[in-house]
Amino acid sequence: MLIAATLLVAGVGAGAFGALLGLGGGILLVPVLTLGFGVDFREAVAVSLLAVITTSSAGAAVYLRRGLADLRLGMTLELATAVGALLGGLIAFALDQRVLAGAFALMVAYVAISMLRAGRHAERAAAPDAGAPVAGAADPGAAAVPARTADDPLERHMRRLPLALALSLVAGVQSALLGVGGGTIKVPAMHLVLRVPLRVATATSNVMIGVTASASAVLYVLRGAVDPYVAGPILVGVFLGATAASRLSERVPLRVLRLLFVVVLAWVALQMALRALGLVT
Amino acid sequence: MIPPASPAPAPPGPPDGDPVTARVGHLLGVGTLAIVLTVSAGTMLVLIGGRTPLHDPGPRLDIARLVEDLVGLRPEAVLWLGLLLTILLPVARVLVALLGFVRQGDQRMSTISVGTLAVLGISVGLALLTR
């Protein structure tokens, strides 16, 4: 019972921390499970994928109801992320776990540096994965999804769509290999390539996570890489943490939290790099 | 560096009251609740049954026996049902959207939805073939 409670609390922490900063739980869950509980890297990725599906679905429901996410754009790009996730899910079983740990270290280091450089706009600039559904949706500065007119990004930037699709494919591979939502790639793909307003890109990225993660999660589940006893409390914890954080977001000093988060990410990157180099087990 | 979003008032609902978006949003809300409740129930039943995560290895998913185990209220089956619902919710979301797009006569989105379902189907097929 104590171990289950510890897993639940770890899930709450990962979900809350991630949601407060607009990052998915995955970026914290994988290191918590591998470094904290000694769970196999591949299994941690699988559990993380299930958790991000749940939190992103909750967030997507809010975003869609409030008209903040562009369902058609998301579904167009998620065709590419799903293909990427399928490929990533297959590659994940062929790669050595040290390679995966090294890739995770690089991604975490990139996110940490991005957060430092983003300064006071970090919570917007750090591309979100799952989580923070209600907080993001309630933001009065949020931009609306344009109506299906000439403002439709799919219509306006059709020539750039292949690039956005290619980036989405890479995001799908990243998601499947590392157990994250892939927002670090998808949000810039929509915002910078298709000129979608940042908040809409963020919300739309959240909507896409479910299908992307499902495409690879099914590979992990059916190949026996998921321990349901671990996944259960983690999934519930992450959902509770993300939900609670979305209600507390306005009362939390984000600047302090962000700095703390950067320190945590730097430590995670170091540990994962050491693991990749075979210096720790 | 990515610039901040331009300020604009939050809209009250989906663009143009799009019924597909509204239906998908509703499905995701209800589905998430069902997942969390089922996984919570399964986890509680497993713990009451004396199993300890990380010490006792959880059973692999046995699809052939899932229904039988659910009828027998086996804790692991309830937990697996919740985890399977997690994977199936996004699939259901694409199906619901596809039906809406077909009704609207939106050929492009209907084709994209069918393509996404095909990729998910291939994923399941490959997983079953290579397990």
The more confident residue out of A215 and B6 is A215
> Does residue B71 contact residue A201 with C-beta atoms inside 8 Å?
no
What is the pTM (predicted TM-score) of this model?
A: 0.85
Nearest CA in chain B to A62: B25
How many whole angstroms separate alpha carbon A230 and alpha carbon B80?
12
How many whole angstroms separate alpha carbon A42 and alpha carbon A226?
9
Q: How confident is the model at residue A134 (pLDDT cuts 50, 70, 90)?
A: very low
Amino acid at B56: D
Percentage of chain A beyond pLDDT 90 is: 39
Per-residue pLDDT tens digits for A167-221: 999 999 999 999 988 888 888 889 889 888 888 888 899 899 999 999 999 999 9
The more confident residue out of A8 and A263 is A8
State residue A159's pLDDT score. Answer: 79
What ipTM goes with this model?
A: 0.87
Per-residue pLDDT tens digits for A72-117: 999 999 999 999 999 999 999 899 989 999 998 999 898 888 877 7
Q: Is residue A273 pLDDT above 70, yes or no? A: yes
3-state secondary structure of B49: coil
Chain A interface, best mutation among B21, B85, B95, by max A CB count within 10 A: B21
Do the chains contact at B8 and A146, CB–CB below 8 Å?
A: no
With a CB cutoff of 8 Å and minimum separation 6, the contacts of A7 are A37, A230, A233, A234, A237, B53, B54
| Structure token pair of residue A1 | 């019972």
Chain B interface, best mutation among A151, A199, A214, by max B CB count within 10 A: A214
Q: Which of A13-22, A154-163, B42-51, B55-64 is the most confident on average?
A: B42-51
**Which chain A residues are closer than 8 Å to B123 by Cβ?**
82, 85-86, 89, 214-216, 218-219
